[in-house]
Chains A and B, each alone.
Chain A
């Protein structure tokens, strides 16, 4: 079925332009992009006042399959992605078993082909079992379809091991995604270290726990030439280190999550386990530095670190609660409410961080709408508002601190390979 997207504003995140163009889609591809197109056989999608964007890609998602299907699975996770305007996600390897061999990567891709609503790009593990001891068969992982490598959640603490990881991954041209955290500094920490942790009597995690590892990983990337992507940056010091590294030409990229540019440690008050996340929510000055880093290009990517956890894993005393929050369905609303409307990012800049930059880092094509290109398209209505309602979330888990937040600027169409999977805030499959 051909579709004609009429009257929308086409966002080109690479040339940083906004152009009023109609887009004709057929057979999974973009057939034509021009003003005042007509196509009598096509179904019309009215995009008046909306941004027509290259399909968004969230490069940091935990789909939990295989092993933790009670939290999320590939079907529910990609349904959440589609609701959130993402045509693709990259999923982290901390499943059970860990995605540290080709068989698990193949399994994820097969399941995604069968039940996935969006595209799924698996990320393989850096070390076997993410234990930080032995290299994985990285070439095998790559051949099976892994788009990058990471031991997310279990940082490689041994610097010598990380050096070998980067040498080997660099040889294959695979990006290493680092969850930069020095576990000896976290040491059982539960939230950001500061006045709030002191008052609540919760063990604090200092900014240095992240910054020490960011600095180490940058130096190792510089040494090895391996492309390094720093996940979920949360502190002002990290932003400064990345900015310096980029200025001297180190191949480093970085991401920030919507919760880290929106919330501070104050969100934990009242022992709110939905605000328990690693890295923790930091202080206002860190939030400002992350926004500044997004604005000046130090931070290349916005990714959610979508981390579903079951109700009973969050409905416990704070120190026993699991770390993480779901983010796929609130990301676009937070980007528009927190960054685009206040003028921190232009629309093309925001879409670059959600669509083109992550694809470059993962060596995936797309990220720009062009005649002849794949029709992965996200349409965003910048004026549409919705209150976050847990009952309406597609994710199996509802662990978000944004419940009852009113978000403005929402995806109204998610099209994967020329087929709408979400339209007008409703899933189509």
Chain B
């Protein structure tokens, strides 16, 4: 099959075939990352802008490297150093970048729907690198790539997402993507951090960690933002950790070969015990490598590349 869409805005909007196409395309990309000489000329003459209204060294570097490994030209526009600070509208910023001949705009923005808004106005491809509490599709895809690579298939797996579901775009993208591919997705966290009616996205809701972890194949631990405590959404990090922190004893509730994922950066000792984070079940570092591979695949597909031309 061929990639048809101009943009990648969220996993909610993708078909099973489209998700599989991205994941399949990421396999040869990962092979490139494993080479000594990583540069391939595939996207020579193409350009990518990272337009980040929130700081994220991790996601931005991942996109940057993905583009560079494929020989695309990249520039970064940070909110603080651009006309954004002068109050230019997102539409105008997008149109300006577009007029400069950019092929792909990667946007990270604190407002849900910002990527969709931008995509509506510019002919360039838009990749959503996280919009508010809506979606973070490339994180969802790299999580799925990691799970699929380790488990062979996603169908029939039980995946438990632990933490602040309310504010998590990672959780939403994972729920959409994993349920489309036939996994059972459980979400667990404090009642004050659980969005209303999330069952309607296809997830099973738990507020207790023990039953949520029982018999799962994958645990995806979300980062807890310290500011949520200041907002009065949970009483203390101590109690959060006591109720929802993933430690070795709790990991025993899962299947013996269960994987542990974390989108990073970690708060060690709070949502995840270091013993678990660096333990044998952890695939946290592989997630980072896979993130580059998935983003290479997306850049390739969104600029008109075909899967058959790169697979062997």
B89 contact from A194, A312, A318, Cβ within 8 A: A312
* Set of chain B residues within 8 Å of A193, measured between Cβ atoms: 196
Question: Whole-angstrom distance from the CB of B170 to the nearest CB of chain A?
Answer: 11
Q: Please tell me if A17 contacts chain B, counting CB pairs below 8 Å.
A: no
- Interface of chain B, helix or strand or loop or mixed? mixed
Question: Whole-angstrom distance from the CB of B269 to the nearest CB of chain A?
Answer: 29
> How far does the alpha carbon of A316 sit from the alpha carbon of B110 in the complex, in Å?
13
* Set of chain B residues within 8 Å of A270, measured between Cβ atoms: 116
Give 1 or 0 for each of B113-143: 1 = CB within 8 Å of chain A CB. 1101100000000000001111100000000
> How far does the alpha carbon of A315 sit from the alpha carbon of B113 in the complex, in Å?
12
Q: Please tell me if B91 contacts chain A, counting CB pairs below 8 Å.
A: yes
Q: Tally chain A residues at the interface, Cβ within 8 Å.
A: 21
Q: Which partner residue on chain A sits nearest B168 by CB separation?
A: A201
Residue pair B196, A195 in contact (C-beta under 8 Å) = yes
Question: Whole-angstrom distance from the CB of B263 to the nearest CB of chain A?
Answer: 16
> How far does the alpha carbon of A189 sit from the alpha carbon of B134 in the complex, in Å?
14
> How far does the alpha carbon of A315 sit from the alpha carbon of B121 in the complex, in Å?
11
Q: Please tell me if A41 contacts chain B, counting CB pairs below 8 Å.
A: no
Q: Please tell me if B109 contacts chain A, counting CB pairs below 8 Å.
A: yes
* Set of chain A residues within 8 Å of B198, measured between Cβ atoms: 195, 198
Enumerate B186-207 residues with CB–CB distance to A below 8 Å: 195-198, 200-201
* Set of chain B residues within 8 Å of A317, measured between Cβ atoms: 90, 109, 111, 113-114, 117
> How far does the alpha carbon of A320 sit from the alpha carbon of B91 in the complex, in Å?
13
B132 contact from A194, A198, A201, A204, Cβ within 8 A: A201
* Set of chain A residues within 8 Å of B83, measured between Cβ atoms: none
> How far does the alpha carbon of A204 sit from the alpha carbon of B196 in the complex, in Å?
9
Q: Please tell me if A197 contacts chain B, counting CB pairs below 8 Å.
A: yes
A/B interface sample: 25 pairs, CB < 8 A:
A194-B196, A194-B197, A195-B200, A198-B195, A199-B12, A199-B200, A200-B112, A201-B132, A202-B113, A202-B132, A203-B133, A204-B195, A204-B196, A206-B196, A271-B116, A271-B117, A312-B89, A315-B89, A315-B91, A316-B90, A317-B90, A317-B111, A318-B112, A318-B117, A320-B111
Interface of B with A (CB < 8 Å)? 12, 89-91, 109, 111-114, 116-117, 131-135, 169, 172, 195-198, 200-201
Listed from nearest, the 10 A-B pairs whose CB atoms lie closest are A201-B134, A271-B113, A317-B111, A201-B133, A201-B112, A195-B197, A195-B200, A198-B195, A319-B111, A318-B113
Interface of A with B (CB < 8 Å)? 193-195, 197-204, 206, 270-271, 312, 315-320
